[in-house]
Structure 1
Amino acid sequence: MRLQSNVPAPFTGLWIPLITPFLDGTVDHAALAALVRGLRPCGIAGFVACGSTGEAAALDADEQLAVLDTVLAAADGLPVVMGIGGYHLPRALAAVAEAGKRQIAGLLIAPPCYVRPAQAGLLDWFRTLADASPVPVMLYDIPYRTGAELHLPTLLALAEHPRIWAVKDCGGDAAKTQALIADGRLAVLAGEDAQLFGTLALGGAGAIAASAHLHTARFVHVMSLLADDRLQEARALWQPLQPWIRAIFSEPNPGPIKALLAHAGAIGPGLRAPMTPASDGLLQRLLALQEGFSRP
């Protein structure tokens, strides 16, 4: 099996959708920069700033751009994609314009949440934003967050746009995933961590995996083995990651990831309302799973 090779760069490999650390209620830029510098040499393809894992909905526009600037500086040339959300088109266009002034690799754009537009409205939304974007666009198909599913014909129509290059696939529809990979015009990246192995085994281009904030090298190694057709070795490395991923997402993301990073002293424990910290019981379970990775 080969990862998608007929799709445009740069949307291949493992991308980390970064958490946003907080200290006394404000963004902790020093901790964010240190996190990026620590992940940078692990073999990842790049970073996503201000995605759902980054609590972007709880950041104002100035905070989002400040987070992006910190990530870009710390990434030191490693590609960075910026998340764009909301359902107010002029604000979304303004966010596209501001982010596009930076040296970013692309934009990750979600459907407008809450309003549940028709497929025709989704086509207009993404085409309008892609027309305005100076950089490539990745579609974010995540209906359980937005309430708006991108249907396969809609995705294939959007693939015709010269600046729409990829899709972060959180739709949970295996047939749609396979059809997009077979079509070949969009890079298909697994957006659900548990679906990483299956998507790549089918020929997907990569993954955006929040749980890979930790054990990053193992995730990278699994993907490398899959790219080299070494399925049995990839499966052996992947199997211990499955309970890890289930535990990480057993409470709302990014609480569990932040709890682990805070326990390690990398960040403070803060989240912004309405997000809440991971339970002590889950933290202990995650620490026990982490210890298991270190055993021979």
Structure 2
Amino acid sequence: MRKPLFIGSAVALVTPFTDTGVDYQALAELIEFQIQGGSDAIVICGTTGEASTMPDEEHIAVIKYAVERVNKRIPVIAGTGSNDTRHAIELSKEAEAVGADGLLSVTPYYNKATQKGLYEHFKIIANHVQVPVILYNVPSRTNLNLNPDTIKALSEVENIIAVKECNLAQVGDVVNLCGADFSIYSGDDNTVLPLLSLGGKGVISTMANIIPKDTHNMVMRFFQGDITGAITLQLQTLNLIKALFSEVNPIPIKAAVNLLGFQAGQCRMPLTELSESNLELLRQEMRAYGLIK
């Protein structure tokens, strides 16, 4: 039986940028905040980390830095997806070479492969590396769904061990088809508990950037049998989550990280700063949650 890469909460970490590159000192502080806060894994250079705006050299340098900074304390999972299969293979090989513990690979966007194309895409990527691969199904961003039957076929590839699933409607089918040794992680902060109740192993979380302890505890309380406690935490986070997704991710979460006192910088174009009205909403919900005064 394949072991999950992690159980609990993996933070989809923001990447702190300056006008000229990556702020590695700020990145170190964010990594330490996550480890001290109880995150069970770090996803580096994912959607929330703005990997789509990072040149390959910078992309791999950030993964390497995270691996070295974490120093095996928790798993580091590198986002290496692309809509160009050859590009995804090269990024995946380089991330493995610098020490990533696993890879997160998103469904190809824009060119919209068939289900056969998706199967071949992910299979060939996995065949070029030894580390575990987590599929990432996020139809709202890619306009494409990775169907349960395709996930089942991919689960038979030895090192494809999990899916980050944003289509809650098909989670039960994926569990029934793939069995207990294939891990499913929530890709949406507002439906962590429903996914866990269907057999999920945890969440790859945006909100964990600012509430790592509560995100970790939500999952662990569920697994420890404290369902009421887990539900209480999920419900407690909902208004904060609405503020964190008032505009496209990661615009609000970067603003929230800055409000906590970290130097996350701004998002790279074409993403822009959070609007004043939504910034005030974010402040309001962070105050209500007890994160800021």
TM-score by length of 2: 0.93
For residue 130 of structure 2, the aligned residue among 134, 140, 146 is 134
Report matched runs for 1:91-106 at 5 Å: 91-106=87-102
Residue equivalent to 1:165: 161
Alpha-carbon distance change, 123 to 146 in structure 1, aligned in 2, over 3 angstroms: same
Residue equivalent to 1:57: 52
Residue equivalent to 2:226: 230
Do the aligned residues in 1 keep the contact of 2:135 with 2:164 (CA within 8 Å)?
yes
Q: 1:153 and 2:143 equivalent?
A: no
Q: 1:35 and 2:30 equivalent?
A: yes
SS in 2 for 1:189: strand
Q: How many residues align?
A: 288
TM-score by length of 1: 0.93
Residue equivalent to 1:3: none
Equivalent position amino acid for 1:87 in 2 = N
Do the aligned residues in 2 keep the contact of 1:7 with 1:187 (CA within 8 Å)?
no
- Residue ranges of structure 2 left out of the alignment (5+ in a row): none
Kindly state the Cα deviation for residue 116 of structure 1 after the two structures are TM-superposed.
0.9
Greater than 6 Å deviation, 4+ residue runs: none
For residue 62 of structure 2, the aligned residue among 41, 61, 67 is 67
Kindly state the Cα deviation for residue 268 of structure 1 after the two structures are TM-superposed.
4.4
Quote the sequence identity (%): 31
> Using the alignment, how far apart are the partners of 1:155 and 1:66 within structure 2?
31
> Using the alignment, how far apart are the partners of 1:268 and 1:206 within structure 2?
26
Alpha-carbon distance change, 225 to 264 in structure 1, aligned in 2, over 3 angstroms: closer
Residue equivalent to 2:79: 83
**Which structure's relative contact order is higher, taking Cα pairs within 8 Å and 6+ residues apart?**
1
For residue 267 of structure 1, the aligned residue among 248, 257, 263 is 263
Q: 1:117-173: CA deviations, max 9, x gaps?
A: 111111110110011012011000112212221111100011111010000001242
Equivalent position amino acid for 2:282 in 1 = L
> Using the alignment, how far apart are the partners of 1:268 and 1:35 within structure 2?
9
> Using the alignment, how far apart are the partners of 2:87 and 2:229 within structure 1?
47
Kindly state the Cα deviation for residue 275 of structure 1 after the two structures are TM-superposed.
0.7
For residue 239 of structure 2, the aligned residue among 240, 243, 249 is 243
For residue 253 of structure 2, the aligned residue among 242, 250, 257 is 257
Kindly state the Cα deviation for residue 253 of structure 1 after the two structures are TM-superposed.
0.8
RMSD between aligned residues: 1.6
- Residue ranges of structure 1 left out of the alignment (5+ in a row): 1-5
> Using the alignment, how far apart are the partners of 2:203 and 2:266 within structure 1?
27
Q: 1:179 and 2:173 equivalent?
A: yes
Do the aligned residues in 1 keep the contact of 2:81 with 2:105 (CA within 8 Å)?
yes
Equivalent position amino acid for 1:18 in 2 = L
